[in-house]
Structure 1
Amino acid sequence: MKKQLFNYETLLKITNAISHSKDPEEVVLITVESIKTALNVKGCTLFLINRQTDELEVAASFGLSEEYINKGPLSALKSIGDSLKEGPVAIFDVADDPRIQYPEAAKKEGIASLVSVPVVSGGRIIGALRIYTAEPWEFTLENLNFIQAMANITGMAIGMARHLRGMKESIEVLKTLRDPRTLKSKRRTPFEGVPRSVSVAH
């Protein structure tokens, strides 16, 4: 990962790719691939929080092996939990840091350093964006701010895509309700709405 890659050109490439997607699943896939490629890092993974289990579940990953991705459950509270509470967290040596849940798996995967930043949507933390490097990397404040900006954009894109999907589903439901084949007759009879206990003659 080279310092000159942290610039507006990189940000433009990534946001341009994300902006063309209107589906949440596609947004996360494009995000991790674009970030990994643009920053020339080993890998990039986007996690979303499962509120029922308090675990970080992989939404999309690019550059990492299936074995590493499926290494085991990640606790949102234990796995670099500070990054979900206090902001970006950079780890220089993943093989020797107590915040890493699976240090041996990271070493086997060839991961040297990583940075984890929260992903926010609608003012709520929904997950984490993590970038992995093959060589030890001392992330600067500029680096962290740049990666956090990308995570913020990702969160907004996911939120908008989910909102758009919800709107589309609502429109389809309304279309079904308005379908003449599914509607009952709207013509009212003289006796419609009269309580059964009341005599019609009166």
Structure 2
Amino acid sequence: MSAQDRIDHESLRVICQALGGASSLEVLADNMNGLLTSTLGIKGSTLFVLNPNTRELELLASFGLSNQFLNKGPVIADKSLAQAMEGQSVIIPDTTVEKDLQYPEETHAEGIKAIVSLPMLGSGEVLGVLRLYHDQVWEVSQHDHDILLLLAENIGLAMRYTRVLNALQSIWDIVSSLPDGWERF
């Protein structure tokens, strides 16, 4: 399959509106996975968040993939398409010839023929990865690659923003529940 653009201006507008309108990290992740899967016409999508203590990529949300595939085992950041953890995109247009998959048997059993892994950055730090899975060999166009990279970065920024908002809301809730007179201290 030759590389063709799959993301047009209208699709990008809808995706960006969903990105900006999310009320929580989970809603953001669910919206992004569903929209990207349908817009790109691919098998599925996942958002993983890096656990800095274990160096595992923890599943935040997924769309289009089986529970068996999602529960295949821990996704180790330094073993699973590790270049994404260095801030680089990883494109595997054909998994049948790729030798560097952490779970090759499970990938093939799931019917995944192509993977795109993009770093989600927040303030220059890799917070996790956006992974796109296709059931066909997939040559990603440069146009779509550039948009997906920007989108992954914006998801990272939205994740950081959502975390800050949630922390501020928790602080506000605590301060609001203090008895009268405590606010002076």
CA distance in 1 between partners of 2:50 and 2:68 (Å): 21
In the alignment, which residue of structure 2 is the partner of 1:114? Answer: 115
3-state SS, counterpart of residue 99 of structure 2: coil
Find the counterpart in structure 2 of residue 167 from structure 1: 168
1:4 positional shift: 4.1
Secondary structure of the corresponding residue to residue 5 of structure 1: coil
| 8 A Cα contact 1:42 1:134, kept in partner | yes
Residue identity matched to 1:29? D
Which fold has the larger relative contact order, with Cα–Cα distance below 8 Å and residues 6 or more apart in sequence? 2
How much does 1:86 deviate? Answer: 4.5
Deviation at 1:150, TM superposition (A): 1.3
8 Å CA contact 2:5, 2:143 repeated in 1: no
The alignment of Structure 1 onto Structure 2 pairs a total of residues equal to 182
Q: Which residue of 1 aligns with 2:32?
A: 31
Q: CA deviation digits over 1:146-190, x for unaligned, max 9? A: 21111112111111111111111111111122x33xx58x9xxxx
Would you say the 8 A contact 1:91–1:113 is kept in 2?
Answer: yes
TM-score between both structures, scaled by the size of structure 2: 0.91
Partner of 1:43: 44
- Pairwise CA distance, 1:141: 2.5
Point out where structure 1 has 5 or more consecutive residues left out of the alignment: 187-202
Deviations 1:70-112 (A, max 9, x none): 1111110010001221511100222332221111111111110
Q: Note the 1:1-202 alignment, pairs <5 A.
A: 3-177=4-178, 179-180=179-180
Q: Partner of 2:72: helix, strand, or coil?
A: coil
Equivalent position SS for 1:165: helix
Gap runs ≥5 in structure 2: none
Give the number of the structure whose alpha-carbon radius of gyration is greater.
1
SS at match of 2:88: coil
Alpha-carbon distance in 1 for matches of 2:5, 2:98: 28
Q: Distance in 2 between matches of 1:83 and 1:175?
A: 42
Report the Cα distance in structure 1 between the residues aligned to 2:157 and 2:175, rounded to whole angstroms: 27
Aligned equivalent of 1:191:
none
2:33–2:45 Cα contact (<8 Å) kept: yes
Decide whether the 8 Å contact of 2:4 with 2:141 is kept in 1.
no
CA drift of 1:43 comes to 0.3
